[in-house]
Amino acid sequence: MENEKQREAELESAEDLRGRDSPRVKFLLEKLRHYRDLSTQQNAKIVDLTERLANVEQEKESQVRKNDQLKTLGEKMCADSNEHWEVHWNMREKSMAAKEEALHKKYQQQVAQLREENEALCRRHGNSNPSHYDMYPISPDNSPSPPPTRNTTQRTPALQKPTRHPNTHRKNQDWNLKVKHACLMLGDSNLSHIPAHGHKDVQIDSYPGAKFSHVTHLLEKTGRNRNVDTVILSFGINNRDKPKETTLKQIQQAKRAATQTFPEATIYVPCVNYSQALPTYQRRNLDELNYYIRRDKNHIPSLPDGHFQTTADQIHWTSGTAAKMLEHWLNYLN
């Protein structure tokens, strides 16, 4: 504005000088016209920039609104997806539990039917003791063969007890494995609750507080053995606080180490039974672990819920549950 006033003043001064110095006045007039043109162009540029700035602000506000709408839509889609996954997961778990329960009932029915047939066959041949019938075969004339003379000094086979390794903070250094039998069952402290049993070819080793990562170190320092034909890795309850990615990586490493140490063996991993009293996030971690375990054909289904009980700490099996778990595994293997 000050420049324009100055130019106006110069123009008026030039008008006053028109009569006295005509060339000078012309020069000043031309210069003023030039300044006016420049001023007009500058004003036009300012107006154009102002309009552009206003358009940019409008576009910015429009983009912010679109981003808010997309964010709201994304949150809604995530919520819908999580809800759909929860429903799908619950349906899948119920379906798997129903299948396992049906298989267990079918197995019990088959066992009961075989027992009835055995008892009926014994009664048919005049033998009321099924175990006696099983021990002494029927002769060609369909009469029971007389029992052989027994040696009354014969000793009953010694019962096998699980080996409980020390509870230590130096697990990878202090733990070891001495292979004695063809069937190995390795697991956490719950395996030490299994009572003495008569399965002479079964070796049970319990490692209190063990995770899948510990069994990897244990097997890596165990010498290769081709005489073992079956290995059960019963771990997982102590991984209940670990995220899915960590646990799945550990179980893959443990299975790989077991395969390398026992190249002739079939490696089985049982599904993890757990108490419903555990915190929600722990149950969810164990559900994700069991979902991964079930994807392997060499998995052992979990013990039916009606047969599973824990002590007051909601972690350790009762002795009755431990005994049922052993029989459940052996029946599955057979």
Q: State the SS3 of 135-184.
A: HCCECCCCCECCCCCCCCCCCCCCCECCEECCCCCCHHHHCCCCCCCCEE
Please give the C-alpha separations between residue 94 and each of 89, 208, 290, 297, 308, in angstroms, as whole numbers: 9, 31, 13, 20, 17
Question: Picking from 143-147, 159-163, 198-202, which range would have the lowest pLDDT averaged per residue?
Answer: 143-147
Question: pLDDT: is 321 or 26 the higher one?
Answer: 321
Question: Picking from 24-33, 145-154, 277-286, 303-312, which range would have the lowest pLDDT averaged per residue?
Answer: 145-154
The pLDDT confidence band at residue 42, using thresholds 50, 70 and 90, is confident
Predicted local distance difference test score (pLDDT) of residue 265: 96
How many alpha carbons fall within 13 Å on the CB side of residue 116? 6
Q: Which helix (H) or strand (E) holds 333?
A: helix 319-333
- 211-229 pLDDT, tens per residue? 999 999 999 999 999 999 9
Predicted local distance difference test score (pLDDT) of residue 100: 73
CATH code for 160-333? 3.40.50.1110
Structure tokens at 188: 């956490």
Question: pLDDT: is 37 or 138 the higher one?
Answer: 37
Query: What is the mean pLDDT of the segment spanning 57-68?
Result: 82
- Distance, CA of 234 to CA of 185 (rounded, Å): 7
Pseudo-torsion of CA 245, 247, 249, 250, nearest 10°? 160
Predicted local distance difference test score (pLDDT) of residue 45: 84
- Distance, CA of 291 to CA of 296 (rounded, Å): 10
- 67-104 pLDDT, tens per residue? 778 877 777 776 665 566 666 666 766 777 777 777 77
Query: What is the mean pLDDT of the segment spanning 147-154?
Result: 52
Q: Is the pLDDT of residue 236 over 90?
A: yes
Q: Is the pLDDT of residue 145 over 80?
A: no
Burial group, residue 287, by CB count within 10 angstroms (0-12, 13-18, 19+) = middle
Query: What is the mean pLDDT of the segment spanning 101-108?
Result: 77
Query: What is the mean pLDDT of the segment spanning 119-144?
Result: 53
- Distance, CA of 303 to CA of 190 (rounded, Å): 14
Q: Is the pLDDT of residue 62 over 60?
A: yes
Residue 8 in contact with residue 30, Cβ under 8 Å? no
Q: What are phi and psi of 152, to 5 degrees?
A: -70, -15
Question: pLDDT: is 242 or 26 the higher one?
Answer: 242
DSSP line for 304-326? PGGG--B-TTSSSBPHHHHHHHH
Predicted local distance difference test score (pLDDT) of residue 283: 94
Q: Is the pLDDT of residue 156 over 70?
A: no
* Mean pLDDT over the full length of the chain: 82
Q: Where are the domains of the chain?
A: 1-103, 160-333
Q: Is the pLDDT of residue 176 over 80?
A: yes
Residues 6+ positions from 93 with CB-CB distance below 8 Å: 287
Structure tokens at 212: 């899948």
Sign of the dihedral defined by the CA atoms of residues 237, 241, 245, 247, in that order:
negative
Question: Picking from 150-154, 165-169, 204-208, 227-231, which range would have the lowest pLDDT averaged per residue?
Answer: 150-154
Closest to 129 measured CA to CA, from 114, 118, 117, 138: 118
Q: What are phi and psi of 193, to 5 degrees?
A: -85, -10
Residue 237 in contact with residue 188, Cβ under 8 Å? yes
Residues 6+ positions from 268 with CB-CB distance below 8 Å: 230, 231, 232, 233, 298, 299, 300, 329, 333
Question: Picking from 155-159, 199-203, 288-292, which range would have the lowest pLDDT averaged per residue?
Answer: 155-159
